[in-house]
């Protein structure tokens, strides 16, 4: 059986499963089955032996079984898990070939280097060349009563809408429309950002493959990067999500650093074939 930890990062529900030392067994089908049971999650972080001794390989699954290219809140939870199982207070993750560095700042607080934001239309990716800071999504914008969003990649695609009142958005009605918009061939994480000042943003997120979520770390990073380039905020901001608060710091020309909390809910051992659990 595999060790697991059911956690959350600023409310983002995370399941960390440790496959190190054994052949990877978790699949998209496993993720879909587990998310309907007592281990329900927004993202599943499957740890396995890395390509070298300096990194731990991580595969990220959404609730629909699809793979994600980044999960900032999940990365903090993985860093806690590694630290608690003897791996030290700094860890490097290998997510599909991309290196993600994490460090412990306190007992339940971690910082993740999320890498630089990318705004090129091929990097996001988009279906065709476009102004990514003011993305024209055609009639869908008028139908939803929204202004043009910014499109950003933080290792996964994001559409960030700046709105006067984030709470007024019906996520379940609007989110899927833009997650599946034809402009995004790989779908998109859809964020609704209310700028409350030069250093504070209220954010709600419809997450690709998971739906409405209490927090999304990569979306918080994408939002601050887009807001800074639009002149709406500085490069440092507090992002207030339904599940908690994240501190985002984007140095000019450099990576986005995300700092926030983690919480352990429970842990045990998991049989991936049956979904059965036992004490750890």
> Which active-site residues does the annotation give?
71, 216
Q: Which helix (H) or strand (E) holds 79?
A: helix 72-82
16/47 Cα distance (integer angstroms)? 7
Buried b (16+ CB within 10 A) or exposed e, 72-91: bbbbbbbbbbbbeeeeeeeb
Residue 173 sits at the vertex; the CA angle it makes with 125 and 11, to the nearest 5 degrees, is: 75
CA 124, distance to chain mean position in Å, is 15
Long-range contacts of range 21-30, CB-CB < 8 Å, 24 or more positions apart? 21/49, 24/48, 24/59, 25/272, 25/273, 26/59, 26/61, 26/272, 27/65, 28/61, 28/65, 28/66, 28/67, 29/65, 30/61, 30/272
Tokens of 270: 């998991």
- Which residue, among 113, 198, 115, has the nearest Cα to 152 in the 3D structure? 115
Angle at 197 between CA 195 and CA 201, to 5 degrees: 40
Q: How many angstroms separate the CA atoms of 165 and 106, rounded?
A: 33
The CA distances from residue 279 to 3, 36, 43, in Å, are: 9, 20, 22
Per the listing, tokens 């207070």 go with 89
CA 228 to chain CA centroid, nearest Å: 20
């Amino acid at each position: 059986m595999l060790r697991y930890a059911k956690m959350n990062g600023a409310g983002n529900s995370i399941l960390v499963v440790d496959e190190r030392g054994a052949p990877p067994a978790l699949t998209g089908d496993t993720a879909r089955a587990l998310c309907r049971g007592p281990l329900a999650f927004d993202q599943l972080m499957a740890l396995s032996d890395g390509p070298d001794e300096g990194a731990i390989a991580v595969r990220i699954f959404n609730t629909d079984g699809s793979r994600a290219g980044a999960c900032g809140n999940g990365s903090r939870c993985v860093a806690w898990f590694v630290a608690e199982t003897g791996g030290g207070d700094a860890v490097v993750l290998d997510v599909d070939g991309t290196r993600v560095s994490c460090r412990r700042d306190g007992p339940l607080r971690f910082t993740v280097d999320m890498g630089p934001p990318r705004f090129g239309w091929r990097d996001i990716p988009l279906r065709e060349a476009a102004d990514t800071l003011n993305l024209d999504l055609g009639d869908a914008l008028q139908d939803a009563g929204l202004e043009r969003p910014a499109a950003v990649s933080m290792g996964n695609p994001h559409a960030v809408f700046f709105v006067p009142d984030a709470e007024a958005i019906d996520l379940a009605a609007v989110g899927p429309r833009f997650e599946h918009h034809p402009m995004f061939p790989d779908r998109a994480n859809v964020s609704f950002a209310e700028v409350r000042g030069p250093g504070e943003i209220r954010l709600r997120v419809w997450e690709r493959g998971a739906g409405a979520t209490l927090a999304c770390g990569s979306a918080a990073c994408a939002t601050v990067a887009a807001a800074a380039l639009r002149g709406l905020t500085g490069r440092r901001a507090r992002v207030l999500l339904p599940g908690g608060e994240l501190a985002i710091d984007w140095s000019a020309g450099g990576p986005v650093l995300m700092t926030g909390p983690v919480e352990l809910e429970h842990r045990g051992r998991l049989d991936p074939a049956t979904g059965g659990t036992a004490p750890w």
